[in-house]
A and B are shown apart, each in its own frame.
Chain A
Amino acid sequence: MKRILLSLVLIASLLFTLACERKGGPGAGGDSGPIVIGYYGDLSGRTSNFGLSTKNGVEMAADEINKAGGINGRQIQILSEDDEGRPEKAATVVTKLIDQDRVVALLGEVASGNTLAAAPKAQAAKIPMISPSSTNPAVTQVGDYIFRVCFIDPFQGDVMAKFAANTLKAKTAAIMLDFNAPYSRGLTEFFEASFKRLGGQIVDKQAYTQGDRDYKGQLTAIRAANPDVIYVPGYYGEVGVIAKQAKQLGIKAPLLGGDGWDSTQLWDLGGDALNGDFISNHYSVDDPSPAIQKFVTDYKARYGNVPDALAALGYDSMKVLADAIKRAGTTAEPQLRDAIAATKNFAGVTGVITIDEQRNATKPAVVLKLQDGKYIYQETIYPEGMTPPPGAPGSSSAPGASPAAAAPGSSPANPASAASPATGKPADGTATPH
């Protein structure tokens, strides 16, 4: 009797699941009704500042598009899932978004390790995924449905190596990496190669893992090697503490990092100890370009804080996706995938986005100096083969640079000019369906 009851319950629950799944099916996948887009990120785990910022950016972009009439008359609906910053959970929630919620496209994740875990699911289901900010090269190598709107680590590592060797005139560097993070290992590899090529020398290399309580052992060893700079390509939670403990040990060499540092919690943990350190990042909030200033103002009005780079990239990823859906005229595959792949000279907040053959975005990076809770713009470094935008030499991100940069029509980094140069219509370019 018990057995029969149990099997009845099981069958009932199975039927229920099937019913639910079918309900979400045809409506969401078709060409009418709202366009359902899945976002997944770390909303409660160790790197939740990343996930929450990105989600803010994505939702703000979606709202702007919806207010302007949606895409081809259809509204966007964002479904968010929390992966708690765990790769296995990322794969699970992405499977859910694809199978149960029938999303037409996916946005996420920030940490490369999590994106790498989820990407094969999207690829297998042939659902396009745009990562706003995963910089490890392996991410888009998963398959032809995986894209990103940020630069990649070979470039980001190279940027810091160039900055260290050319601007800071560093001859020796030590590296302290987060051993279990693909992001950190990738950056280490590329920084090392680049720095050596520029004539520098790596004098020590130490590793830590997320959740370590003490970093002084490694830092003491690094101090003994006496490097000019210390490259710490980690995430904000650990980096803040590392900076603090480094100062306690009397280490004077500046710490250099990547976009993984960019979070308000960095300052809660590191405080004054962070002053004088440098990071490479996707954009600078000090950039006078009107598009960036409008984004910063709108974001502040909506969420009450200054958008970090991850919010900006989340915003851009949504806008790129919306642009592709509009051009494809459908959310069916492979038309949507092809439309994303064909993205060219899209003017985003974080720069002009062109998706290359490897489905990566080729973009410049900025170097910022950390000072009293602020990120102060230092310089913009362009990838090899990419020249600074004409009319605004090297200054699409430089505050106080030539006023020409701000004049409409002079710089491709200005969305107003790039989206609709003839009419000067709204910057997002989605207002008029066609």
Chain B
Amino acid sequence: MDTFVQQIINGLTVGAIYALIALGYTMVYGILRLINFAHGDIYMVGAFVGYFLAFQLGFATGPSLLGLTVVLVGSMVAAALVGMAIERFAYRPIRKYARMTTLITAIGVSLLIENVFVAQLGAAPRAFPQLLQEQSYTLFGNAAISKSQILIFAVSIFLMLLLQWIIFKTKVGTAMRAVSFNLSSAKLMGVNTDVIISVTFALGSALAAAAGVLTAQYNPQIDPLMGIMTGLKAFVAAVLGGIGNIPGAVLGGLLIGIAETFVVGYGQNIGIPTTFRDAVAFAILILVLLFRPTGLLGSTVQEKV
């Protein structure tokens, strides 16, 4: 029983990271109908900005709550700027062309970011400094939860609630919802769509950067290519939940995280090797596309942001 609970906790931890990244995919898709494949790399950029901030500001020497907060917020701000810049310089000039053009541009941007980082920093993984005094708490039996896991849960729940508040309670959020319904009508109603699209990219990128810093507290190994697989899985999570649907992205992320952990934890008992963990997300993607292309919470008519 405690093993089962432990695997659920492990799965939720991984899933919360996927959920944070999936939110960015789903928001951009909701507004522009664009799969922003560079989004996984923003997650990596977030982790690296955090890494350099920690060293530059002298927080790398020991764990401190102040350091953690500064690094987390700092990397979110930096990633938001990077996200806005990508939108401004890569996607906006070609927005009027066919959707395939933007999709391929997105793949190009992704490769560009990865390779610039590899060229500048090398592909060797770096060790992210520990900003959180690690400690484990026993729940019952052997089931334990570590501080970094609690941090991941707490911060992601907070950010998700904050996002929900921005979208439903603020003027910008209302405009975002309007743009997602119909971009040209929103424009006619006097919504500055360019600004709203920028804001959407900024929000999504900030969430991905938060995921990057949080995951680096859990697993301190960061490298310029860490965003590829995680980004793809978060994308699958967004599709699973129903792309364009915000609660769907969170649900999808958590489900993928749990599915993956269960393949690792219990797969061997039913003949599935541990190394199928990466395959399970894509198997789910195929099943979703075959049987429920709109995803779990998606429907053909929906409120998209």
Partners in one complex: yes
Query: Given A211-B229, A220-B265, are A46 and B144 also a contact pair (CB < 8 Å)?
Result: no
**Contact at B122–A48, with CB atoms within 8 Å?**
yes
Which residues from B are CB-within-8-Å of A206?
Answer: 264, 268, 274
Which residues from A are CB-within-8-Å of B262?
Answer: 217
Which residues from A are CB-within-8-Å of B148?
Answer: 248
Q: Identify which of A59-67, A263-271, A306-314 touches chain B.
A: A263-271
**Chain B interface mostly:** helix
Q: CA–CA, A238 to B219, complex, Å?
A: 9
- With both beta carbons as reference points, the residue of chain B lying nearest to A45 in the complex is identified as B123
> Interface size bucket, A side?
35 or more
Which residues from B are CB-within-8-Å of A84?
Answer: 123
A240 at the interface (CB under 8 A from B): yes
Binary B-proximity of A236-255 (CB < 8 A = 1, otherwise 0): 01101100110111100000
Interface residues of A in 309-362 (CB under 8 A from B): none
**Contact at B220–A248, with CB atoms within 8 Å?**
no
Q: CA–CA, A249 to B265, complex, Å?
A: 14
Q: CA–CA, A49 to B148, complex, Å?
A: 27
Q: Identify which of B64-72, B134-142, B168-176 touches chain A.
A: B134-142
Q: CA–CA, A147 to B261, complex, Å?
A: 42
- Which of A44, A211, A238, A250 sits near B142, CB closer than 8 Å? A250
**Contact at B10–A217, with CB atoms within 8 Å?**
yes
**Contact at A179–B220, with CB atoms within 8 Å?**
no
A224 at the interface (CB under 8 A from B): yes
Which residues from A are CB-within-8-Å of B144?
Answer: 248-250
Which residues from A are CB-within-8-Å of B6?
Answer: 216, 220, 223, 249
**Contact at B124–A217, with CB atoms within 8 Å?**
no
- Which of B138, B223, B273 sits near A46, CB closer than 8 Å? B223
Binary A-proximity of B122-154 (CB < 8 A = 1, otherwise 0): 111101001000101010001010101100000
Q: CA–CA, A221 to B269, complex, Å?
A: 11
Could you tell me the distance in whole angstroms from the C-beta of A29 to the nearest C-beta in chain B?
A: 34
Which residues from A are CB-within-8-Å of B229?
Answer: 211
- Which of A213, A214, A248 sits near B146, CB closer than 8 Å? A248
Residues of A within 8 A of B (CB): 44-49, 84-85, 179-180, 206-209, 211-218, 220-221, 223-224, 237-238, 240-241, 244-245, 247-250, 265, 268-269, 271
Residues of B within 8 A of A (CB): 3, 6-7, 10-11, 13-14, 17, 122-125, 127, 130, 134, 136, 138, 142, 144, 146, 148-149, 215, 218-221, 223, 225-226, 229-230, 260-266, 268, 273-275, 277-278
